[in-house]
Amino acid sequence: MRKIHKLASIFTAALLTASFTIAAPAEDVIYRTLDEIRESGTINIGVFSDKNPFGYVDENGDYQGYDVYFANRIGEDLGVDIEFVPTEAANRVEYLETGKVDIILANFTVTEERAQKVDFALPYMNVALGVVSPDSRVIETLDELEPDDEVIVISGTTAETYLIENYPEITLQKYDTYANAKNALENGNAAAWANDNTEVIAYSLQNPGYTVGIPSLGSQDTIAPAVSKGNETLLNWINEEIKSLAEEEFFHKDYEETLADTYGLDYEESLVVEGGVPVAAADETEAEAADKTEAEAEKETGSEPWFQVEVNEEIPSPENDDNTITFGVVPTPHGEVAEAIEKKLSEAGWELDIVTYEDYVQPNNALEAGDLDANYFQHYPYLADFNEQNGTELSAVAAVHFEPLGIYSGKTGSLNEIQDGAVIAVPNDTTNEARALQLLEANGLIRLEEGVGLQATVLNIEENPYNIEILEMEAAQTPRVIDEVDFAVVNGNYAIDADIRDRLLANEDAASDAALTYANLIVVKAGEEESLKTKALTAAIISDDIRTFINETYDGAVVAVF
């Protein structure tokens, strides 16, 4: 029997084309529509007034900070004045529900619980939790806390929720304001202070004598604007604003104007989100890379076909009543592949419970928590980064398919017809842009510097005989502008969704570096690689009939790699 669970969750680096909404608005939620805000000539934006460098009031009485910089741009592009409304962490949801503000821009971390009450727009910053403590006793793990130690949190923050849920034995000192929490730490009232890592890092840099001993606690999250539940017109406008601002790298400018003095430039790429699409953490340092074993390096670079599993048509049967395989996937093509193996698993005595997610974070969290037996949605670089960032031990057991980037015709129908000054749209995230440039090079349109590989950017274009203008944008947008450019380089899944496969001119080779590196994997918890469920699931997918299903169903937009 098939059971498909639809779980709304945060977002995905590749699936983020809409905001995070879950529940219908409560009847008593008060808000102003976009038109009403414009007609009034003023927008009310809730910001912090005491959290330098994110939102604070300077010596002249003016609001400043990273969130405020963005707020000012919103007012400018809407053509209205801004009324800044000072808020505290615990008031953010209340201010939206009561209509006191139109938008919250106050270091608001996206969580499922909050998304039941407000609507989050696309994110503009990465964040995790962190813990700061005095230099006299730096807390580097929560296990170092003594039974009588207490930890400071601000009420209504993700730090409070995380510690209550995961460390109920730790006594918390709760404060309503950032200033009160800061004073409590400086007065020695507690052993440490847990808050967003951006905030505790800023605090330690501005206050000698304190160290962030735990720079990342829990999962990597994002910060996003929030509006009242159901305020779709304002939400949609903000989403489009965030996407359009990516073209000028607005949030990088914001960082450099407001945060660089505090954090320096080293944190810029790991914290800033452009276009609403979080980018994976920075590449490993040379020292970290040197510590890798040769086998690990081969896996990550795809220099060896480590992922290739031989076809085995014999599916082992369950040995007891534990015959349910709970399998986490994203919709296309992963969910469709899962549905295609359901019948033959059933014939072997297994029940496949397909859990469909709408993001790239929860499937790994659920696998780590034991809610899934396996998942199928990610490539190895993403998996390796997730394990490193979250302390998880998830293991790849087989590669299933590769979603090649393709060159699709726009205003020009053939690569042979390319004209001088042609415009080509490409994804702007680091990985896909490098792949796109390699694909253009493989088709003789440009030449890249030797050896740049999957680190290529437009700065590495060495020869451009057609004077091509590379138009960088969020990956999901490339098929949407296809009729406005000469060609577009589009990810396979987006090409499927946009129904443009008939316009495909060229795509990545299944034996390319990208195919070896970015093949999508079946992943299990470490220690479960040889379990009966893993073997049954792998045998069902890595099979001749599923290879045929993938290659015939997706017309080259998805390619089997086994």
**Residue range 275-293, pLDDT digits in tens:** 888 754 333 333 333 343 3
- The pLDDT, as a whole number, for residue 22 is 33
H or E segment at 159? helix 158-166
**Residue with token string 């937009």:** 557
H or E segment at 43? strand 42-47
- CB-based contact 86:105 (threshold 8 Å): no
The structure tokens listed for 475 are 């990956």
Residue 172 has, within 13 A of its CA and on its CB side, a CA count of 21
Torsion angle in degrees (nearest 10) through CA of 69, 71, 76, 82? -120
Regarding the domain delimited by 127-221, which CATH topology (the fold level of the hierarchy) does it fall under?
Answer: D-Maltodextrin-Binding Protein; domain 2 (3.40.190)
- CB-based contact 530:519 (threshold 8 Å): no
Sign of CA dihedral 364, 365, 369, 372: negative
The structure tokens listed for 118 are 């407000």
Whether the bond into 25 is cis, omega within 30 of 0: no
Neighbouring residues of 538: CB distance < 8 A, sequence distance ≥ 6:
309, 312, 397, 398, 522
The C-alpha atoms of residue 537 and residue 522 are separated, in whole angstroms, by 9
H or E segment at 150? strand 150-154
Domain 289-403+516-560 in CATH 1.10.510.10? The answer is no
The C-alpha atoms of residue 268 and residue 508 are separated, in whole angstroms, by 31
In the chain, what's the furthest Cα-to-Cα distance? 75
pTM: 0.45
The pLDDT tens digits for 236-268 are 999 999 999 988 999 999 999 998 888 777 778
- The pLDDT, as a whole number, for residue 521 is 94
Q: Which CATH class is domain 406-507?
A: alpha beta
Burial 273-308 (b: 16+ CB within 10 A, else e): bbbbbbbbeeeeeeeeeeeeeeeeeebbebeeebbe
Instruction: Show the low-confidence residues of the chain (pLDDT under 50).
Output: 1-27, 280-306
H or E segment at 369? helix 362-369
CATH number of 19-124+224-271: 3.40.190.10
- The pLDDT, as a whole number, for residue 491 is 86
The C-alpha atoms of residue 230 and residue 504 are separated, in whole angstroms, by 39
The structure tokens listed for 348 are 């072997």
The C-alpha atoms of residue 479 and residue 499 are separated, in whole angstroms, by 9
- The pLDDT, as a whole number, for residue 309 is 67
Q: Which among 129, 154, 126 has a CA at the least distance from the CA of 10?
A: 126
Residue count (the chain): 562
The C-alpha atoms of residue 250 and residue 544 are separated, in whole angstroms, by 48
Backbone torsions φ then ψ of 389, nearest 5 degrees:
-75, -25
CA terminus-to-terminus distance, the chain? 28
Percentage helix, strand, coil for the chain under 3-state DSSP, each rounded to 5? 40, 25, 35
The C-alpha atoms of residue 514 and residue 474 are separated, in whole angstroms, by 19
- The pLDDT, as a whole number, for residue 540 is 96
Number of Cβ within a 10 Å radius of residue 487: 30
- The pLDDT, as a whole number, for residue 369 is 93
3-state secondary structure 415-479: HHHCCCCCEEEEECCHHHHHHHHHHHHHCCCCEECCCCHHHCCHHHEEECCCCCEEEEECHHHHH
The C-alpha atoms of residue 150 and residue 188 are separated, in whole angstroms, by 10
- The pLDDT, as a whole number, for residue 11 is 34
- CB-based contact 341:313 (threshold 8 Å): no
Residue 384 has, within 13 A of its CA and on its CB side, a CA count of 17
The C-alpha atoms of residue 338 and residue 365 are separated, in whole angstroms, by 20
Q: Where in the chain is the domain with CATH 3.40.190.10?
A: 19-124+224-271, 127-221, 289-403+516-560, 406-507
